[in-house]
Structure 1
């Protein structure tokens, strides 16, 4: 009888411990939230900052490189402001001649009430009323690369006149300070191209032995550029010593035109702006003589960061000049760091 009582007591105690253990386990589970739930809560607490990027010609390799910079800027802004969810969306006008399309894109951004607009205008004057409209609506406007002819929250671009002069000096040096040149200056609607061309003309004017045979503004259409270069080859022949081309894509087309006409690398020296993988190869092969690299990736990532900082109430500079405006020559190409100039191989922008 005593033995059976002891057994019963042991069983009761075992059940009590089991129940207590289950209770402790349940209490601990309720006190520790699931990692997924915590992550979702953190995301829901972040403030979304919508950044709209408006480009004139995203198909150009220069703007493809800039597009990579915008994505880096998005990452940097999210890292600098972890309480924000910065979202960058990029739009393409399709060419400098399509200012009306870009105006429509900007009006859409204003209507949607985006927080930041980063604008590289198709036309420096035509976009002015819409920049002012966006600013009046309280939207941060960052003028990127090509100047728009009015005040913005901040502007970041190259000193194009200075860059053009430096290109002209190196071109003159490569020609022995004498010879004949032609200038293809790019779209007349973009202040960047106008100012680059102005710098080239002013720079070359310092050398009495150099004659400008012809200078033309031209759209960014590669076929129109090819036609112009072929016309110069026919008109001037061996009297043509050098060509200035406003951008690398057009410069490659010019080199191909010379190659098709039987010229050898360096027979006609070509100087241009903006590095791409293909233009860098043409430079190393001697078909291009000099390139001003510019810094499309650095400029565009900074444009995003400045925009978000301004949105957060921080002071940003009214104007910033990029610094890499000194031309690199063929024999310097292999030593040039392309980190701020070229997107990784295979990268392509995601446009909206």
Structure 2
């Protein structure tokens, strides 16, 4: 198994070196910023099985193509160890900049340290590490949870039982969304957190978790706060199957297309829009400025927006 992975990595490295060599030989053709070669940016993403993360990456790819930049993308498959190895590979390839969508706050931090030590700018997108990178592009996850939980509190009149589905434990979004939710819960003493557990950002796992909670608590559950839409939609399906959806409020985060359609239909009560397009494009912009040693923003925060049936039409793409 290990030999296959190393062999695959070698082929990728060979292809990348060949590509860079070809770019150098074509001198000023399509040179980003007028340099002697196209800039090369290495990108390691948390998981290309997650729809929102894929959306962020798609915008990166679109922006990179428009800027004439070579993008090398790898999937960390939710493994911080793999992510650190991927960044080490980018360093060996001498890429001009690295964009990392961190798997975990602590365990992905060595990747930042290694990149900075090698003199390569590293930009964290969407999620954070404890070690400070060259720049961060994303949104304030604490605020997203405040928005979601405040909606729940108002809908319930400040009284009721809430269950909370966490993302992967230890990831920045999970930590901060829990923090934001708890801030609002403190403001409503009659709003109780009945149960909480990770659904690992996954729709099927969230559905199974919701089924277990329905068995344990049944009609005691008044609302579900899911840290992302995939889990929110899993919860909706379990509640529908149990005939309880009309009695339970479900709110999640990201505003992926499936979630927007669910809000339009009224099965998902609300989602919190996170702008994948801006996160992806701004990450590339920041990486290019850093690679060219130009001035760049150390932190770019893109606001969240509440999406309900009242305004969902403005978020739906034609």
Equivalent in the alignment of 1:303: 283
Equivalent in the alignment of 2:47: 57
Contact 1:188 1:218 in 2 (8 A): no
Alignment of 1:262-277 (within 5 A): 262-264=243-245, 266-277=246-257
2:315 to 330, 336, 341: 336
Contact 2:225 2:252 in 1 (8 A): yes
In structure 2, runs of 5+ residues without a counterpart are 1-25
Task: State the distance in 1 between where 2:114 and 2:81 align.
Answer: 16
1:258 to 227, 235, 239: 239
User: Displacement of 1:73 after TM fit?
Assistant: 2.2
Total equivalences in the alignment: 289
Equivalent in the alignment of 1:137: 118
Contact 1:167 1:326 in 2 (8 A): no
TM-score by structure 1 length?
0.78
Q: 1:326 to 1:204 in 2, by over 3 A?
A: farther
User: Displacement of 1:337 after TM fit?
Assistant: 5.9
Larger Rg: 1
Contact 1:73 1:303 in 2 (8 A): no
Equivalent in the alignment of 1:91: 74
User: Displacement of 1:187 after TM fit?
Assistant: 0.8
State yes or no: 1:126 paired with 2:107: yes
Task: State the distance in 2 between where 1:130 and 1:211 align.
Answer: 39
State yes or no: 1:293 paired with 2:273: yes
State yes or no: 1:182 paired with 2:182: no
User: Displacement of 1:199 after TM fit?
Assistant: 0.2
Contact 1:166 1:327 in 2 (8 A): yes
Q: 1:318 to 1:44 in 2, by over 3 A?
A: closer
TM-score by structure 2 length?
0.86
RMSD: 1.9
In structure 1, runs of 5+ residues without a counterpart are 1-39, 79-84, 339-343, 345-352
- Ranked by relative contact order (alpha carbons within 8 Å, sequence separation 6 or more), the top structure is 1
